[in-house]
Amino acid sequence: MVAMNLAGLTTVKPEDRELAHRAAILLGDSFMEEMWFVTWLEALDEIGTDDARKRELLHAVFADDIEAFAPYGAIFMLDDMTAAVGGYLYSELGGETITSVEGAQAGKRFLETATPQEVELLERREQEMVAISSFDWARKHAGGEDHINFFAWAVDPAARGKGSLRRMLAPFFAFADEHGLKCYLECYSDRLQSMYEHLGFEMVDELHSPDFDVYERRMVRYPKPLAA
């Protein structure tokens, strides 16, 4: 399989520190509204943590993700910098998984930013959320075939409603259709599920926990036949 060199997107390289920082801010700000992270960060409410501090912690979380996945060519931004996406071609991970790639990073930026009390509360909440936190499932569903797995994307609020999301995803979908690849993602809200269905994704299944109102929806986009 050829590498994902996608027209209209800039691949964030490990040495691109300024670009990586911009992507981390964009993703962190956007995921303040994402229900898995909202639920995770609610563990800090008992110590009175405000949104500004939660945002700072999310910037660190995504700085870790970008640092971990940039060596695999899995972090992209629109050329106009209005959107960012984390998505990898499975064959380019060289046998690694999303869990092992993140594990090798070991939350370095997050641990530099969070206090011991914050770490304790968030680690406990993450364990409580295990039942709705399946992030390596696409490998099994794909049955060993190559595929694209999206683990994050975000659009600058100032660019919403201007087609940035479709412009960002169009090169991935074109690549997937050309090479006959499925695309995978998870989401945690009705709004996102509906939006992703409009983009061509279908529900695979749902993961529920009696302890949380939010639940994981696992989705796949099947490749479309190319026009003759």
Write the CATH number for 72.
3.40.630.30
Please give the chain's pLDDT, 228 residues, in tens: 557 889 889 999 999 999 999 999 999 999 999 999 999 999 999 999 999 999 999 999 999 999 999 999 999 999 989 999 999 999 999 889 999 999 999 999 999 999 999 999 999 999 999 999 999 999 999 998 999 999 999 998 877 777 888 899 999 999 999 999 999 999 999 999 999 999 999 999 999 999 999 999 999 999 998 765
Separation CA 209–CA 131 (nearest Å) = 6
In this structure, the strands spanning 202-209 and 182-187 are unpaired
Residue 27 lies in a domain: yes
- 46-72 residues labelled b (16+ CB within 10 A) or e (exposed): eeebeeebbeebbbbbbbbbbbbbbee
| Predicted TM-score (pTM) of this structure | 0.94
Decide: residue 187, CB within 10 A, 0-12 exposed, 13-18 middle, 19+ buried: buried
Residue 2 lies in a domain: no
E strands in 90-146: none
Residue 1 lies in a domain: no
Half-sphere exposure of 176 (CA within 13 A, CB side): 25
Residue 48 lies in a domain: yes
Residue 63 lies in a domain: yes
- Residue range of the domain that includes 45: 9-221
Which residue do the tokens 């800090």 mark?
44
Domain count of the fold of the chain: 1
Separation CA 11–CA 9 (nearest Å) = 6
Residue 228 lies in a domain: no
